[in-house]
Amino acid sequence: MSYIDGFVIACPKANKEKFIAHAKLGDSVFMDLGALRVVECWGDDVQKGHTTDFRMAVKAEADEEVLFSWIEWPDKATRDAAFAKMTEWMEDPSKADPRMDPEKNPMPFDGKRMIFGGFAPVLDLKA
């Protein structure tokens, strides 16, 4: 069964087009490293919760929208190999893929408020 990396981000609404451009360039790296699919979703119906919600989780400001994204990998081993490669790039930026260069492809959001994690599917229903 596949392996999923999930992300929740707060991004300024004014940066929507910048985010899309950033994702198109940066996400192509994940595809080249073996991802099967990358999905980027811009908040459309993100409700306020009573105890917690997506907006609170990423401390979204009034001028920001919540984004929900995921990367589907064929398996955890492929994902781990991709992350090892990206860690290698962080340790030696001269070897990094230029699409991941923050000067050439800056994040149009506050990465410190991004929530992310890896998930092993336990159920996968398809039509």
Average pLDDT on 6-33 reads: 96
State how far the Cα of 9 lies from the Cα of 115, in Å rounded to an integer. Answer: 7
Q: Give Cα separations from 117 to 12, 18, 51, 58, 86 (angstroms).
A: 22, 24, 22, 14, 16
User: Does domain 3-119 match CATH 3.40.50.720?
Assistant: no
State how far the Cα of 5 lies from the Cα of 7, in Å rounded to an integer. Answer: 7
Q: What is the pLDDT of residues 69-105, one digit of tens each?
A: 999 999 999 999 999 998 888 788 787 788 887 777 8
| Confidence check: pLDDT of 60 > 90 | yes
Note the pTM of the prediction, 2 decimals. Answer: 0.90
Domain boundaries, the chain: 3-119
Q: What is the pLDDT of residues 31-46, one digit of tens each?
A: 999 999 999 999 999 9
State how far the Cα of 42 lies from the Cα of 65, in Å rounded to an integer. Answer: 7
